[in-house]
């Protein structure tokens, strides 16, 4: 049996829910949507928050090696520490496929101490 709802928010990307518009989500799904939005937003894309977002899409055509993994790990850990205080990142892995990079974030939800994993495909810009 699931415990009480800790987090409640709006589904990203926006879509119609069974009982509401836009659809609402809770807990782990909300955190995964937040990570998706943080990583897929290009740094400088938001007018009033130019520091929000990542440079992950610019790494799509880089060589998939230790250097790329370290760059992504460093950037994502810094972004999550700044913009997503609900989790603690345990590991960040990257895998390059044709025209996208798959970023996998392993984390712990601080409120419940439950582990979570988010795999985010980052397409070329």
- DSSP letters spanning the chain: -------EEE-SS----SSSSS-EEEHHHHHHHHHHHHHHSBTT-SSS-TT-SBSGGGGTTS--SHHHHHHHHHHHHHHHHHH-TTEEEEEEEEEEETTEEEEEEEEEETTTTEEEEEEEEEE--
Question: Would you identify the CATH topology of the domain 8-123?
Answer: Nuclear Transport Factor 2; Chain: A, (3.10.450)
pTM, entire model: 0.81
Q: Backbone phi, then psi, for 78, in 5-degree steps?
A: -65, -45
pLDDT of residue 1: 40
Tell me the per-residue pLDDT of 54-113, one tens digit each, with 9 for 90 and over: 888 887 777 767 887 888 889 999 999 999 999 999 999 988 777 788 899 999 999 889
* More confident position, 57 or 120: 120
- What is the predicted pLDDT for the residue at 94? 85
Selection from 18, 17, 14 nearest residue 36 by Cα: 14
Domain ranges of the chain: 8-123
Name the band, by pLDDT with cuts 50, 70 and 90, for residue 21: confident
The pLDDT, as a whole number, for residue 16 is 77
């Amino acid at each position: 049996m699931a415990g009480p709802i800790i987090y409640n928010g709006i589904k990203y990307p926006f879509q119609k829910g069974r009982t509401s518009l836009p659809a609402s989500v809770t807990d782990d799904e909300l955190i995964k949507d937040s990570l998706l939005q943080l990583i897929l937003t290009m740094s400088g894309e938001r007018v009033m928050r130019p520091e929000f977002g990542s440079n992950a899409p610019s790494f799509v055509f880089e060589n998939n090696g230790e250097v790329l993994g370290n760059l992504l790990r460093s950037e994502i850990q810094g972004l999550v520490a700044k913009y997503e205080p609900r989790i603690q990142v345990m590991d960040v892995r990257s895998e390059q496929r044709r025209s996208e990079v798959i970023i996998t974030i392993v984390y712990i939800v601080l409120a419940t101490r439950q582990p979570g994993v988010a795999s985010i495909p980052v397409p070329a810009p």
